[in-house]
Amino acid sequence: MKSYLEGCGVPTTRLGETEVPRLMMGNHPFEGWSYVSRERDAWYRDYFCRVARIAEVLRFAVQQAGLTVTQVDHVLPERNRMHLQAIWEAGQDTGVEIGLLAYILTPVMFEGEMIVRSARTRATFYAHDERVGGEAFRTHIVHDPLVRRLLDERPEAFITSQTTPPYTPEEAARFTIDYRQLERHLGFYEGCNIVIADPGSEIELLAMTGRFDLIREYLGFLRRRFPCIVTSSHHAGVTLPLLEAEGIDVDGYLTPVNRLGAHMNPTPELALEAIRQASKPVIAIKPMGGGRDLGREAFEYVFAQDNVVGSLFGMGTIEQVRETSQAAREALGVA
């Protein structure tokens, strides 16, 4: 069986000591998430309820588009198990061992509860974004199309540091990481070919609350298992400068870059400046603004940004794989 590099049909780059394709597949469509509409979400959930349908798309992506690394997750176990099974089947059919960019939820704990998806965590993000971006951030966030979609166009549901108290420094000093739970998360990927480990945007909460000691301890734990570590961020204008100032040992960053500025916080301008100034390379996520900005020009914009070396994007159907991968390949100058 060929390795993901031997089967790769697109240019490659390096994250630390690891060579990876500059184009990689996202996983959200297979989980039933589109960022476009409830109707599209429902279609994805219904269509990708069978392993064979996911494997069919993956086979096409490998054979026709040369895409050999895909993002995977463990937070939705039933859906994510089907995705992993489909990856294995597609690998057997194509003779290529598909590489994985594995999201690993970081179980940050406070007073016995995991807080990474809590309202107070979201309020903490808001407070830091507002502190850096001010009025420009507040204007940007209420018009962000992905935020509006996540809220189902209900702005009253938006969590801010005025509606919900952020974590205080005293509370943050009591944060811990539950390594037993983390071992269970890692066990989900037992036997998988993980090329890149992504400890996730929970690192942002630790950075914004000054818990760099926990970040270093956790990354040291991951380094003993994985050769390449990136961390994802939806608040690049805040988080990347904090991590860079502390010299945090990651091989790169995953963060949104798109012409719409979607999920680029506190503002697209501050996010792009942080990306340009970063000492580590960046893999752009959401290059099409959640399916709202399609075609070659969307990818040309992404690859024109300093320090952006690659892109990860979701594709739900064979036709989407054909059109999107062709646009991305053309933007890289690949026929």
- DSSP secondary structure, 70-86, as one string: EEE--SSHHHHHHHHHH
Given this model, what pLDDT does residue 190 score? Answer: 93
Q: Which CATH class is domain 12-331?
A: alpha beta
Amino acid 63 reads Q
Q: What is Dmax (Cα atoms) for the chain?
A: 56
Helix-helix angle 212-223:236-246, to 10 degrees = 80
Q: How many residues does the chain have?
A: 335
The Cα–Cα gap between 100 and 193 comes to 6
Domain boundaries, the chain: 12-331
The pLDDT tens digits of the residues spanning 22-53 come to 999 999 999 988 888 888 889 999 999 999 99
- DSSP secondary structure, 10-58, as one string: S-EEEETTEEEESEEE--HHHHT--SS-HHHHHHHHHHTTSHHHHHHHH
Given this model, what pLDDT does residue 156 score? Answer: 64
Helix-helix angle 318-331:51-65, to 10 degrees = 30
Q: Which stretches in the chain have pLDDT values below 50?
A: none
